[in-house]
Amino acid sequence: MTKDSVRKKVKVHFEPDNVDIVVETGANLLEAAIDAGVRLTASCGGAGTCGTCKVVIKAGEVETHRTAKLSDEEYEQDVRQACQSKVLTDLTVYVPVESRLEKAVVTRESKGTAETVATGWRFRPLLSKYFVELPLPTIQDNASDLSRLLRGLKQRHKLSNMTVDFDVVKKLPKTLRDSNWKVTATTVVTAVKPRAADRRRPRLTNIEPGDARGKHYSLAFDIGTTTVCGQLLDLNHGQVVAEGIDYNAQISYGQDVISRIAYCQKGGCPKLQRAVVGTINGIIRQLLDESGVGLQDIGHLAIAGNTTMIQILLGLDPKYIRLAPYTPAATFIPPVKANTMGIEVGEHVYLFTFPLVASYVGGDINAGIVGAGVHQRKTLTYYIDIGTNGEIVVGNSDWLVAAACSAGPAFEGGGIKHGMVATTGAIEDFDINPSNLEPTIGAIGGEKPKGICGSGLINILAGLLEVGVVAQNGKFHTDLPTKRVRPGKGGHEYVIAWASETQIDKDIVITEADIDNLIRAKAAMYAGCQTLVNSVGMTCRADLEQVIIAGAFGSHLNIEKGITIGLFPDIPRDRFTFIGNGSLLGARLTSFSTDLLDDARMVARMTTNFELSENADFMKNYVAALFLPHTNADEFPSVKEKLEKLQKNKVTQRTTV
Amino acid sequence: MTKDSVRKKVKVHFEPDNVDIVVETGANLLEAAIDAGVRLTASCGGAGTCGTCKVVIKAGEVETHRTAKLSDEEYEQDVRQACQSKVLTDLTVYVPVESRLEKAVVTRESKGTAETVATGWRFRPLLSKYFVELPLPTIQDNASDLSRLLRGLKQRHKLSNMTVDFDVVKKLPKTLRDSNWKVTATTVVTAVKPRAADRRRPRLTNIEPGDARGKHYSLAFDIGTTTVCGQLLDLNHGQVVAEGIDYNAQISYGQDVISRIAYCQKGGCPKLQRAVVGTINGIIRQLLDESGVGLQDIGHLAIAGNTTMIQILLGLDPKYIRLAPYTPAATFIPPVKANTMGIEVGEHVYLFTFPLVASYVGGDINAGIVGAGVHQRKTLTYYIDIGTNGEIVVGNSDWLVAAACSAGPAFEGGGIKHGMVATTGAIEDFDINPSNLEPTIGAIGGEKPKGICGSGLINILAGLLEVGVVAQNGKFHTDLPTKRVRPGKGGHEYVIAWASETQIDKDIVITEADIDNLIRAKAAMYAGCQTLVNSVGMTCRADLEQVIIAGAFGSHLNIEKGITIGLFPDIPRDRFTFIGNGSLLGARLTSFSTDLLDDARMVARMTTNFELSENADFMKNYVAALFLPHTNADEFPSVKEKLEKLQKNKVTQRTTV
């Protein structure tokens, strides 16, 4: 088929959303879907390599570049990869359930305790409101409006040495007179005291008529590669008023930070910026709707996120993050007016982004360390954020070392045949009967399953290992008395749910390729931890006193199973705690306390970054960890013992049977 | 004539400019002229009361509201006030020379001496450039780009505690790499140390590739109600590279600040802002053209101006300046990015406006005090800026009191029948033969005269007084042997130049009404000075040690004549100095020295403002000064003596003749 030389307007209709978009012939179908607001998964960012954006062409014609991701059967059934298809005529396109991103991400509660949340800070928000009644100007005292206000703030509230935003001067004369010289001033502290002797300079950012102290809110956000979480904070009461979560709309342009950076390198940075700003704006609207709080009553916005997410959000080209030696633009980014980035808040609102450590140890990790109070205790802590990058930190109040492990997206369901994020229909619970090797599964929301999320994958792999369906090298035993282990494309697979039990009318399986991905991911994280701990002359088993697990699946992860596959070190289970979204926790607590703001800056400075990608010890540790749980069984004595015991039981069982 | 119910497009052709503009029928002819770029005088801002915007309708029809400013003769010759005329058809309009504003304002040199210019300051500009060669990032040292830059600036130039503009972060990664890590950083100091213990925080505002220290310029401007003056400063050599001056384009909307504020109250503030920004941009282009300096090499902009001019420039509604108790929006206005105001400079350029004292004692006066070093000396100084407002300051290094005298625009030629600003064709020199009462006149540029400027008016009035043509009450003696004194409309007048000797083919006269205006203007200034000096328990004659005269006509003013009419106090002539444009002097010197920046803030704080309009002593002093030179002859002993002597000579002469 040749290309049309003349471009025409055609209409693409998407089902089951029932939305239409008009595009020119030749348009990319994935882009058309994104523009139409249809939420498609596209893990690889449109490179054609992940096969997650499959759609069914029900009517009309496309020109498709066929890749190995499309089976003959699929091709005959008019299944196409949207990213590989050009629109030629009017189309009707059906988006199957497994290609859809659903908004109903389950929000998970943090289970932080006194040991894993920063303590000792005073409730003293970055944002403050001060009410003043000013004396009316007279001919004897006709100081300027601003002088009068500053004098009032000094006399009444001991505020001095302020920086004043020009926008405040602009609205001051009218506001003062309209409110009969009774006004509320908003100040924000963004800079941290560079020296103890220097005083903190509050910045006067807003002026409101009358006593507006009752309406005193701010926003805290975590911008993740996959999801964006926001909280509306009541700064009078130190409470979360509303909470919202949504997929980062950038996800349609690539699943991990590397594919996002690659997209930016092709000139896509403004598009990605608009995408994430759109997500943020959607969450803000949702928070306001839920709480009934007015947009103008929000006075501040604190955002934590990984370095790539923050740079894209701010329009700072992230390309050097990907190129050795991996330098970010800045570790401390000056506060900017949020509306200049397209974020729909009042023009007085500054966007504070968390200080970061390095290109791959971002403000999200720093926020997590501060929020969890790792820097406050002598306890030697291993902090692990199980996301796409797999960032880890080891240390205590004296020192902190950090690294990104490039674990890959396996624990978020990426690169896994039936992997998916932890949303409704994702299998997360898994148990297997050691006798007949039949599974018992549980999916989020109690629905029929449509895929497997990260915690489910860990449970499945551990379960299969324990009953001997999978060997310690990650390969299936093929001589077992079960139909569930069967040959598949490129290796064996285990059927977790038969097609009839699923939403997708296909068998949900875990393949040897999936297991290989998982082993590589867990090996990277374990080797990373080992490398950091060893670098300070310690060992994981002897010295780690606490493990704090942050991340999307956080509290639903089974620690025992994580240790079984060698993801976590084999130390007493009571040393583990989940804190859920550590990044959001840090953003919130810092919004509540300038003490923690100072800490955030200090922690960013004191944390030493390890570039594992070029570290010889890491490579050695990584190769040694490519086994279940590890090539060195002495690293995992309890797992060794358990597996030996289970093996013995099974032999006994089989003998008994 | 009735209005067209349907508006049509018609063309207005202006001569002698030969420019056309298409407007709708019903459009105001003055507005049409302004929009067409034709520079018309319109002192009253289109109220119809000044009669300075007269034009001749050579073809076509207008609908005019006829005022008393138009004589029968003029009306018959198709002369109309542009501001009172609506366009009805295609027009050809001739703008006579006396209605034109000409750009060729004569630039006058400041004659500042060691006694009247600030001394002792170190050459240390607000704006600095620093060149650094940074070590290339490596995997062992992959600090962020910004951290690397700040580290380099600290090591190499001992710069620390910096504030960083977000725009710098945005361009940093590319600039560093494009220039092989050799860059020039620009910093600006805008905030002044609030306490001695606090360190000054430089703000990093720009980053350029390579060594850009050689191109290091800033701009200093004085924004006057009538004229705008700008200088391009070379900050490497502390020199003025180029100088430009133009009428403030706001002049077509009203001659004094009150008429400008009135225009703003009718919603015209954005229009006035655009007008003055247009003037500034024109001067900047002229400065760059003349000097060959590149736009991007300008790093800073310091502007001094009266409070109304500055508030309009910044888009701060000036209405409360006009309403009692006359409060300005702010005395210290935070620096803003100049391009946000429409000023065509690089986006890194901040606009610094001089701190001001009060609504009618603005940053221009503060700049003059600082530039002249009044605050540095023990000498009791009277600083006088003879503009429309007539601001005065009395004091020394210990104390400063200031006031605006509402002198009116007479000294700038406003409200005077043939008054004009000090441009080519303006009569400034005047001598009169006591025998035959014939004058000798000199006009600026050696041209035929077309009007009289402020210094000319003073010389004329003093001359007429000395020879007894005008009595001490400001009325003409009508029994003199000269045709030059003759009855006119509303009182007598003296013919300074016959129609045939002029450019305007009309007799140039000074009327009793003009003299009345001049007397009121000089009385306001003298009474203001007296009130300030008396308020501290001193008297002008006994205690003033120095008089510094600033203002547009500055150095061309004849001191002796000024004393003769009672404008200046009768003290030894060697105590007087002209400094020309004091506001521009202060803006320039402050650009050269942070010492003077600190002084400017201190002077603004230490200056006490007197509101003369509601001061009983001032009213008493003012009434007493409504005489030539003064009702109390003992205030002006040398003038008294001179007039008595001249009177005696005249009697002798007449006797002799």
pLDDT tens figures, B43-55:
566 677 777 788 9
The per-residue pLDDT for B201 is 82
The pLDDT of residue B181 is above 50: yes
β-strands A439-443, A391-395 pairing: unpaired
Share of chain B above pLDDT 90, in %: 69
| Residue A81 amino acid letter | Q
Interface contact B144-A329, CB threshold 8 A: yes
Interface contact B142-A197, CB threshold 8 A: no
pLDDT band for B602, please (50, 70, 90 cuts). very high
The per-residue pLDDT for B111 is 42
| Residue A498 amino acid letter | W
The pLDDT of residue B197 is above 70: no
Q: In this structure, what are the phi and psi dihedrals at residue A263, rounded to the nearest 5 degrees?
A: -65, -40
Q: Report, in this order, helix, strand and coil percent for chain B, each rounded to 5.
A: 35, 25, 40
- Residue A132 C-alpha, separation from nearest chain B C-alpha, in angstroms: 18
Interface contact B330-A170, CB threshold 8 A: no
The per-residue pLDDT for A153 is 96
Rounded Cα gap, residues B497 and B499, in angstroms: 6
Q: Is A286 helix (H, G, I), strand (E, B) or coil?
A: helix
The per-residue pLDDT for B440 is 92
Find the helix or strand (DSSP H, E) in which B87 lies: strand B85-87
Torsion, Cα of A47, A53, A58, A64 (10° steps) = 10
Interface contact A166-B325, CB threshold 8 A: no
The per-residue pLDDT for B199 is 64
The per-residue pLDDT for B655 is 54
Q: What is the mean pLDDT of residues B367-395?
A: 93
- Residue A28 C-alpha, separation from nearest chain B C-alpha, in angstroms: 31
Which of A142, A146, A330 has the CB atom closest to B330's CB atom? A146
| Residue A414 amino acid letter | G
- Residue A144 C-alpha, separation from nearest chain B C-alpha, in angstroms: 5
Q: The dihedral of CA B56, B59, B65, B70: what is its sign?
A: positive
The pLDDT of residue B581 is above 50: yes
- Please give the residue of chain B at the shortest CA–CA distance from A136: B325
Q: Is B133 helix (H, G, I), strand (E, B) or coil?
A: strand
Q: In this structure, what are the phi and psi dihedrals at residue A349, rounded to the nearest 5 degrees?
A: -85, 125
Interface contact A170-B333, CB threshold 8 A: no
Residue A86, strand partner residues: A28, A63
Cβ contacts (< 8 Å) between A139 and chain B: which residues? Answer: 324-326, 611, 614
Rounded Cα gap, residues B392 and B525, in angstroms: 8
Residue A120, strand partner residues: none
Buried b (16+ CB within 10 A) or exposed e, B510-527: bbbbbbbbbbbbbbbbbb
Find the helix or strand (DSSP H, E) in which A524 lies: helix A512-535
- Residue B109 C-alpha, separation from nearest chain A C-alpha, in angstroms: 34
Which of B142, B145, B169 has the CB atom closest to A334's CB atom? B169
**Alpha carbon distances (Å) from A193 to A598, B31, B384:** 8, 54, 45
Residue B204, strand partner residues: B164, B187
List, in sequence order, the alpha helices (H) in B179-304: 257-263, 269-291
Cβ contacts (< 8 Å) between A334 and chain B: which residues? Answer: 163-166, 169
Nearest to A286 by CA among A91, A117, A105, A60: A105
β-strands B451-452, B439-443 pairing: unpaired
Which of B160, B317, B334 has the CB atom closest to A164's CB atom? B334
Size (chain A), residues: 657
The per-residue pLDDT for A507 is 96
Rounded Cα gap, residues B492 and A518, in angstroms: 106
Which of B146, B194, B333 has the CB atom closest to A329's CB atom? B146
Cβ contacts (< 8 Å) between A359 and chain B: which residues? Answer: 142
B372 contacts B112 by C-beta, under 8 angstroms: yes
The pLDDT of residue B337 is above 70: yes
Rounded Cα gap, residues A590 and A567, in angstroms: 30
pLDDT tens figures, A173-184:
999 999 999 999
B224 contacts B422 by C-beta, under 8 angstroms: no
Most A-contacting residue of B140, B141, B142 (CB-CB within 10 A), to test interface: B142
A588 contacts A600 by C-beta, under 8 angstroms: no
Which of B170, B177, B191 has the CB atom closest to A316's CB atom? B170
Interface contact B142-A611, CB threshold 8 A: yes
Most A-contacting residue of B169, B321, B609 (CB-CB within 10 A), to test interface: B169
Interface contact B359-A142, CB threshold 8 A: yes
Interface contact A173-B336, CB threshold 8 A: no
CA B142 to chain centre: 54
Buried b (16+ CB within 10 A) or exposed e, A54-75: bbbbeebbbbbeeeebbeeebe
Most B-contacting residue of A327, A360, A361, A613 (CB-CB within 10 A), to test interface: A327
Rounded Cα gap, residues B656 and B396, in angstroms: 52
The per-residue pLDDT for B652 is 63
Q: Any idea which residue has 């100049």 for tokens?
A: B338
- Please give the residue of chain A at the shortest CA–CA distance from B164: A334
Nearest to A420 by CA among A455, A390, A396: A455
DSSP label at B99? G
**Alpha carbon distances (Å) from A68 to A49, A65, B527:** 8, 10, 96
List, in sequence order, the alpha helices (H) in B467-511: none
Q: Is B345 helix (H, G, I), strand (E, B) or coil?
A: coil
B528 contacts B394 by C-beta, under 8 angstroms: no
Which of B142, B147, B316 has the CB atom closest to A169's CB atom? B316
Interface contact B144-A330, CB threshold 8 A: yes
- Across chain B, mean pLDDT equals 89
pLDDT tens figures, B98-146:
776 654 333 333 444 446 788 888 898 999 999 999 999 998 899 999 9
| Residue B522 amino acid letter | K
CA A286 to chain centre: 19
B228 contacts B221 by C-beta, under 8 angstroms: yes
Q: What is the mean pLDDT of residues B246-263?
A: 89
The per-residue pLDDT for A127 is 95
- Residue B183 C-alpha, separation from nearest chain A C-alpha, in angstroms: 15
Nearest to A546 by CA among A519, A579, A581, A521: A579
Query: Would you tell me how many other CB atoms lie within 10 Å of the CB of residue A94?
Result: 17
* Predicted TM-score of the model (pTM): 0.83
β-strands A381-385, A391-395 pairing: antiparallel
Cβ contacts (< 8 Å) between A611 and chain B: which residues? Answer: 139, 142
A81 contacts A54 by C-beta, under 8 angstroms: yes
Q: Any idea which residue has 């601001």 for tokens?
A: B391
Share of chain B above pLDDT 70, in %: 92
What DSSP assignment string belongs to B388-429? SS-EEEEE-SS-EEEEE----GGGGTTTSTTB--SBTTEEEE
- Please give the residue of chain B at the shortest CA–CA distance from A323: B139
β-strands A607-610, A400-404 pairing: parallel
A419 contacts A425 by C-beta, under 8 angstroms: no
The per-residue pLDDT for B83 is 86
- Please give the residue of chain B at the shortest CA–CA distance from A340: B166
Q: What is the mean pLDDT of residues B295-312?
A: 97
Q: Which residues of chain A have pLDDT under 70?
A: 1-5, 41-46, 100-115, 190-199, 552-556, 650-657
Rounded Cα gap, residues A38 and A263, in angstroms: 20
Q: Is B220 helix (H, G, I), strand (E, B) or coil?
A: strand
The per-residue pLDDT for A554 is 52
Nearest to B329 by CA among A167, A155, A204, A182: A167
Q: Is B239 helix (H, G, I), strand (E, B) or coil?
A: strand
- Please give the residue of chain B at the shortest CA–CA distance from A320: B173
Cβ contacts (< 8 Å) between A178 and chain B: which residues? Answer: none
Q: Order the strands of the B508-511 sheet from edge to edge.
A: B485-488, B491-497, B508-511
CA B291 to chain centre: 24
Residue A358, strand partner residues: A361
Find the helix or strand (DSSP H, E) in which A322 lies: helix A319-322
Interface contact B611-A315, CB threshold 8 A: no
Interface contact A143-B327, CB threshold 8 A: yes
DSSP label at B445? G
- Residue A315 C-alpha, separation from nearest chain B C-alpha, in angstroms: 8
Q: Which two tokens stand for residue A430?
A: 């898994």
Most B-contacting residue of A138, A144, A361 (CB-CB within 10 A), to test interface: A144
pLDDT tens figures, B226-252:
889 999 999 999 999 999 988 899 988
β-strands B546-550, A439-443 pairing: unpaired
Residue B509, strand partner residues: B495
Q: Is A593 helix (H, G, I), strand (E, B) or coil?
A: strand
CA B192 to chain centre: 27
Q: Which two tokens stand for residue B559?
A: 């001191």
